[in-house]
Amino acid sequence: MNILETDRLILRQIDSVVDAEFMFALLNSPKFVQYIGDRGVRSVEQARTFIETRYQPSYELHGYGLYTVERREDGIQVGICGFVRRDSLPGPDIGFAFLPEYERNGYGYESAAAIMDYGLDVLGFEQVLAITTTDNEASGRLLEKLGFGFAELITSGEESLKLYRYPPDAG
């Protein structure tokens, strides 16, 4: 199910059949593992199960989730972008990840700007959060370009994370 479209991209719900191979590649890409974490997905079948148990339930439970980002011109899946609802945070947070071969094409900003508009205008969010590892400077720059402001360092397990907030003065 398509959620929104931009000039170059379509954001749609992640599908466990159509997106399993793509998600297997994304979940095991070096930057995903470094900055988001190793999800332990070691096969396309495990990726299918991961989608069904981790990503798809959010659509019904929260009314939103992470979405496949695909190019309009050819339908190629380039990444994911959307909102996550974590127990550890007081509101929805934006998340995004792209396959290495599609980075630095503006897809991250284009999809994240569109999903922010969707969150504010359609879902009625008054505040959106974001977290990054302390060394993920590229994601931090993208968040700042979207209008997020750095709020504070937080701890999740044994890891220190940067918390960003939109609008920056909310909270």
- The predicted pLDDT at position 79 comes to 98
* More reliable by pLDDT, 157 or 128: 128
Please give the Cα distance from 142 to 164 (Å, whole number): 11
- Determine the pLDDT at residue 140: 96
- What is the pLDDT at residue 93? 96
Could you tell me the CATH superfamily of domain 2-125?
Gcn5-related N-acetyltransferase (GNAT) (3.40.630.30)
Between 122 and 88, the higher pLDDT residue: 122
Ranges of each domain in the chain: 2-125
Phi and psi at residue 98, to the nearest 5°:
-135, 150
How buried is 109 (Cβ within 10 angstroms: 0-12 exposed, 13-18 middle, 19+ buried)? middle
Q: What pLDDT digit, counting tens, does each position of 32-80 carry?
A: 999 999 999 999 999 999 999 999 999 999 999 999 999 999 999 999 9
Query: What pTM did the predictor assign?
Result: 0.95
Tell me the C-alpha distance between 123 and 84, whole Å.
Answer: 13
Check residue 171 and give its pLDDT.
61
Q: What is the pLDDT of residue 168?
A: 86
| DSSP letters for 121-158 | HTS--S-EEEEEETT-HHHHHHHHHTT-EEEEEEEETT
